[in-house]
Amino acid sequence: MNEQSVLTAADATVQEYDWGELIWYANGQMGNSATMTFGRCVLKAGHANFRHSHPNCEEILYVVSGRIVHSLADETFPMGPGDTVVIPPNVVHNASNEGDQAAIMTIVFSTPDRQTDVVDE
């Protein structure tokens, strides 16, 4: 074990967007995982993240709190606490929070270097 094995909350990487934020706890760029990306998505009430896909990895999304509608290709799925979706590589998807409080999701990717392709609509 080395000191990069433990990450304090204060050392997480935060990416802020109009719709919410992505908080990264482990990935290749941070240097604490050689095989995965692990993080948290906070989706503001009444907002949706952009439609996108990941060409180089599978994604697992687990709803911790709140309610979302998750699009997966051309289908939509209402999701709440405890629900999980597994998204294959190259499948266009996004989450929409139609509730009145933030939705919190845990996200895991099968690569330490997650790539994202944004879909223009």
pLDDT digits (tens, 9 = 90+) for 63-119: 999 999 999 999 999 999 999 999 999 999 999 998 999 999 999 999 999 999 999
What local confidence, expressed as pLDDT, does residue 10 receive?
92
User: Which one of 2.60.120, 1.10.1060, 1.10.15, 1.10.287 gives the CATH number of domain 10-83+91-102?
Assistant: 2.60.120
| pLDDT of 3 strictly over 80 | no
Rg, the chain, Cα only: 14
Nearest Cα neighbor of 102 from 42, 61, 62 is 42
pTM score, whole prediction: 0.93
- Cβ pair 91, 27 in contact under 8 A: no
Confidence of residue 2 (pLDDT cuts 50, 70, 90): low
pLDDT (tens digit per residue) in 24-52: 999 999 999 999 999 999 999 999 999 99
Ordered by start, the domain boundaries in the chain are 10-83+91-102
What local confidence, expressed as pLDDT, does residue 52 receive?
97
Paired with 87 in beta bridges are 59
Spatial strand order of the sheet with 93-96 comes to 75-79, 68-72, 93-96, 52-53, 117-118
Query: Which residues, at least 6 apart from 21, have a Cβ–Cβ distance to it below 8 Å?
Result: 14, 15, 41, 42
- Cβ pair 61, 68 in contact under 8 A: no
What local confidence, expressed as pLDDT, does residue 50 receive?
94
d(C-alpha 118, C-alpha 54), whole Å: 9
What local confidence, expressed as pLDDT, does residue 1 receive?
45
For strands 103-109 and 37-43, give the pairing.
antiparallel
